Structure 1
Amino acid sequence: MDAVLTRMRALDDRLPPQDGVAVFNRVYLAVTEELQRRISAGEFPARRTAAALAVRFADRYLAAVEAAADGRRTPACWRPLFQYRRHPGVRPLQHALAGINAHIGHDLALAVVATCHALRVEPRSLERDFELVGETLITLEERIREELMPGPDLLQIADPLTHLLGSWSLQRARDGAWAAARLLWTLRASPELAAEFTDSLDAGVGLVGRCLLVPTPRVPG
C-alpha cells in the first residue's frame, strides 16, 4: 500500500486545496492511511487479501485522476467531479460526496472482481475483508461530515445541501457494490454481458454524481 499512499500524497502536495479532487483526495488519503494501519496491526483475518483489495481499489481512483490530467477519457462515474472540480457554486462537501459515489459505486465492485481474479478466489472468500474495509470507509463519511460540513445554514430545511445529504447513503452504495461484484463474477464467462453491465454501472453512477454536484445557492440567513 506504500505506493498508492505515495501517489496520493503527491496529489495532495500538487493540487490547490480548494480543487474538488484535492478535497476528496485529502479525506481518502487519511482513510487509506488508517486502513494500512489496521491491516499492519493484524485487524484483518487475511492481511494479504485485504491489502490486495485496498490497492486495487485505490488504483482505480488514481488511474482516473492520471487520465484526466493527461487529457485522456475517464470513466463516466468520475467525469462530473473532474468537470465541476473548480465550479464556484459547488461546495467542498459536494465534491467529497461525488468522489465517494464514484469510488464506491463503481470502482469498488471492479476492484473486488480484479482481486478475485488475481488471487484465484471466489467473491465469498473476500466477503469478510470487504466488510472490514467497508467499516473503515465509514470513517471517510464521518470525516467528511466533521471537516466539510457547512455552518448553521445547513440546519435550514430549505438549504439544497440538506436534501443532498439525505439522498445519498454510503451503506446503500456499499451494498450495491457487493451485489455488482457478485453479478460481474457470475458473468465472467460472458465477456460481452459483463462489459455491458459495467458500462451501465459506470453511466448510472456518473448520473448520480452529476446530481450531487448541482450548484447549491446558499439560503439567506
Structure 2
Amino acid sequence: MELNLIKSITIKRATTIPEVLEQLDSIIDDAIANNDRIGYFAYLYRRVTAQILKEVQLKNFEDNERMEKFDVAFANYYLDAYNAYINNTPISKSWAFAFQNRNEQLTILQHIMLGINTHINLDLGLAVSAEMHGKDILEIENDFTKVNSILASIVNEMQDRLSRVSSMLFLLDLAGKNTDEKIINFSMQKARELSWHNGNLLWGLGSEHQNGAIDQMDLVVLSLGQFIKAPKSKIIDYMLSFIARFEEKNVGVVISKLRRE
C-alpha cells in the first residue's frame, strides 16, 4: 500500500482550541519540511481557528463555552481525517480526494479550496448535528451564523495575502468582477449555509439513521472537489493553469509570506 505522507508527526485529537492550534502547527511544520501543499489549507484553517479563539476570549458569542467545545469537535474531524490518511486507514471519499491531490500542479487557491470544500460542506454539518444531539439545534444557530461574519473578514485578508505568492491571481478578474474573491466567499460563507441545512437534516434523522444521508453528502462534496480541481469552463481552467505557472512553488516560502503581517 502506498505511503501517503512522510510519517514524521503524530496528530492527536484536541480537547481545547489551543490544542487544535498546536496540532495544526505540527501539520504546517511538517508540510514545510516536506514541501507538501497540504499545508496551505492547514494555514488557512489555523488562521480561522485563532480568530474563533479570540472571539471566544472576548465573549462575543451567546454561549462561549459551547462555542469552544463545538469548535474543537469540528476541528477533530479534520485532525482525524489527516491522521487516518497518513496511516492509510479509511476516510471519506471527499477527504481522500483532497489529500490525494495535495501535490497536483494546481493553484494555491485551488489547494485551499479543496480543504475548505470537504471540511465545511461535509464535516461542519456532521459536527453541528453531533454536538446538538438531544438538544434543540436552533439554540446554536445565532452563534453558528455569527461565524460567517468572522469568515468574511478573513476572506478579505486572505485575498490580500494570496497576492503575495500568486502574482497572476488578478487574472481571474478577467472572467468576472472579483471572481477570485467570489470563489473563496462561496467556499467559506455559502458552504456554511449549506452545512447548516445538512446539519439540520442529520440532526432530524438521528444518529441511527444518518449513514445513508452522510454517504450521499460525501458524494456531492466529492463532485464539488472534482469541479474545483477541473472547472467546466475552459477559460477558467486555462487561467488557473496559467496562474499556477507563475506561483511560488516552495511551500515554506508561501506559508511564510502568507503569515507575514
Q: TM-score, normalised by structure 1?
A: 0.86
Match of 1:84 among 101, 104, 118: 101
Deviation at 1:55, TM superposition (A): 0.7
Which residue number corresponds to residue 218 of structure 1?
A: 242
CA distance in 2, matches of 1:137, 1:84: 25
Distance 1:21 1:138, change over 3 A: farther
Listed as ranges, the matches of 1:1-221 within 5 Å are 1-16=17-32, 19-88=36-105, 90-117=106-133, 120-149=134-163, 150=166, 151=168, 152-157=170-175, 165=183, 168-188=186-206, 191-192=208-209, 194-214=210-230, 216-218=240-242
> AA paired with 1:180?
N
Deviation at 1:77, TM superposition (A): 1.9
Deviation at 1:71, TM superposition (A): 1.1
Aligned residues: 214
SS at match of 1:20: coil
Contact 1:23/1:95 (8 A) holds in 2: yes
- The answer to which of 53-62 and 8-17 deviates more is 8-17
Cα RMSD (Å): 2.7
SS at match of 1:87: coil
CA distance in 2, matches of 1:166, 1:127: 23
Unaligned stretches of 5+ residues in structure 2: 1-16, 231-236, 246-261
SS at match of 1:131: helix
Q: TM-score, normalised by structure 2?
A: 0.74
Distance 1:83 1:144, change over 3 A: farther
CA distance in 1, matches of 2:18, 2:224: 31
Unaligned stretches of 5+ residues in structure 1: none
Distance 1:33 1:19, change over 3 A: same
CA distance in 2, matches of 1:143, 1:57: 23
Q: Percent identity?
A: 26
Distance 1:12 1:86, change over 3 A: same
Deviation at 1:92, TM superposition (A): 0.7
